[in-house]
Amino acid sequence: MVAADDVDAVLVTSWGRTHAEHVPAAVAAGKPVFCEKPLATTVANGLKIVEAGQAHGRRLVQVGFMRRYDAGYRQLKQVIDSGRIGEPLIVHCAHRNPAVPLSYTSDMAALDTAVHEVDVLRWLLYDEIVSTQVVTPRATSKRFPHLKDPQIMLFETAKGIRIDLEVFVNCQYGYDIQCETVGEEGLVRLPDPAAVGVRTAGAHSSEVLTDWAGRFADAFDTEFHEWITNLTEGDEPTGPSGGTRPQIRRVVPARRLHAVLPASARRRREDRGAEVVPARPRGPALLRAAAVQVVLARGDRAAGGRPLMEADDRDHR
């Protein structure tokens, strides 16, 4: 099916172990591919996909890491790139889930969970990770016996930046993503999702999200929209892919590749028949949803108020 003339792009959201079958097939047909993470679950399958792209002669594959499309992370990168906090020295990260199923194994902390931080940190810092260490502290009692949880991952980049990442997938209290970059002249912190503060009975509280959908649904929509838009307009994709100037007529439904579409994409597909059409991006409204916190050496603090990434009147792409 992927070789059909009226198929211009392929969306693969099947189980990770099947990607080494579906992605090379689409690349061999010369079709741009959006493949959800992980691109592969073994080194051999990863090389199979890379070699398929090399044999074709141009880059066609974009991997579905959505954090690059999150408004908060984009603001974070804007501050780092501006030099406002000086050269980055240390990054503190946390990736916490309330709980995971029995099928979740210890190696998935790296392959399925920390892989998001690995991608977004390379993008934020424009640097490559050159060394890795995993430390297992005292295990939580709120886990299945086979699982090592939490885990602390320590990275060093080519520029010497040190990164510590806490992966705690049974934290109980909610879905919590944290990232703080310490520079020579200040620090910048990823904002928490917007939430109302409630003051009652002598306490001040706000809710904590309990799953990824509430935290990154907008980022998923923006990511998919930008991929389709870039292919349609002939621009370079924001992810690791490339192509000519196809006019998008039909995206192969992932379930025909024995996959399951995300709920948001499935709803759009049901609304429009055989096509998968992304919703209009939220644009400036998305950018204004949250502002990063910046602490500079002189003690000034920028939080809330004017977003650090200015939005213009164009669609956010």
Residues 119-162 have pLDDT tens digits of 999 999 999 999 999 999 999 999 999 999 999 999 999 999 99
Per the structure block, which two tokens stand in for 160? 């010497």
294 has which bridge partners? 188, 302
Residue whose tokens read 């001040």: 204
Pick the more confident residue, 84 or 278. Answer: 84
Residue 316 forms part of a structural domain: no
- Residues 84, 170, single domain; the answer is yes
pTM of the model as a whole: 0.74
**What's the pLDDT score for residue 151?**
98
Determine what percent of the chain is predicted with pLDDT higher than 90: 54
φ, ψ (nearest 5 deg) of residue 198: -115, 125
Same structural domain, 170 and 240? no
Give the model's confidence band at 287: pLDDT under 50 very low, under 70 low, under 90 confident, else very high.
Answer: very low
Domains identified in the chain, total number: 2
Identify whether residues 168 and 263 lie together within a single domain. no
* Cα gap 161→91, rounded to integer Å: 8
Q: Are strands 251-252 and 9-12 parallel, antiparallel or unpaired?
A: parallel
Categorise residue 234: left if φ over 0, alpha if ψ from -120 to 50, beta otherwise: left
Q: How far apart are CA 239 and CA 20, in angstroms?
A: 19
pLDDT at 173 over 60: yes
Q: Which two tokens stand for residue 176?
A: 């919590």
Q: What is the CATH number of the domain that holds 150?
A: 3.30.360.10
74 and 133 inside one domain: yes
Per the CB < 8 A criterion, the answer to whether 37 and 8 are in contact is no
Q: Rounded CA gap, 220 and 216, in Å? A: 6
Same domain for 100 and 144? yes
Contact 145, 74 (CB under 8 A): no
Grouping H, G, I as helix, E, B as strand and the rest as coil, residue 95 is strand
Report how far apart, in Å, the C-alpha atoms of 220 and of each of 129, 160, 217, 266 are.
25, 31, 5, 13
Angle between helices 212-233 and 71-82 (to 10 degrees): 70
What CA–CA distance (Å, rounded) separates 66 from 224?
A: 9
> Is 314 inside a domain boundary?
no
